[in-house]
């Protein structure tokens, strides 16, 4: 699985403001888009080995939704979860955060895809 497998599934969230790994920034180093936005990443890709070689791969997927309100961030996170379930997303964890430097709420979703 790659980023190109995930992006088409969630590309329409947050009015299309979905980015791999980092939000676009301006010359001052601040986000160049207004919230809400979604960041997604493939955090790890760990393969299991058996006697005859590699067996399965466990890919950790992380979705971070940034918004001015926690309710909106959570709602978009739930939409992302529903859209990613067909990939076989399992071991799902959800976390709320507040980013004081940006004054934005972040709703994070972590899960694994076993391939």
Q: Which fold has domain 3-114?
A: STM4215-like (3.30.2000)
pLDDT digits 0-9 by tens, 6-23: 999 999 999 999 999 999
pLDDT digits 0-9 by tens, 84-96: 999 999 999 999 9
23 close to 66: Cβ distance less than 8 angstroms: yes
pLDDT digits 0-9 by tens, 26-65: 999 899 999 999 999 998 665 555 666 666 778 899 999 9
Phi, psi (deg, nearest 5) at residue 21: 70, -40
């Amino acid at each position: 699985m790659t980023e190109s497998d995930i992006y088409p599934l969630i590309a329409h969230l947050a009015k299309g403001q979905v980015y791999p790994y980092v939000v676009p920034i301006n010359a001052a180093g601040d986000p160049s888009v207004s919230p809400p936005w979604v960041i997604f990443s493939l955090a790890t890709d760990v393969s299991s080995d058996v006697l005859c070689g590699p067996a399965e791969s466990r890919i950790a997927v992380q979705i971070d939704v940034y918004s001015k309100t926690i309710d909106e961030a959570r709602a978009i996170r739930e939409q992302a979860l529903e859209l990613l379930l067909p990939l076989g997303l399992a071991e799902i964890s959800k976390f709320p955060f507040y980013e004081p430097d940006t004054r934005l709420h972040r709703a994070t979703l972590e899960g694994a895809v076993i391939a």
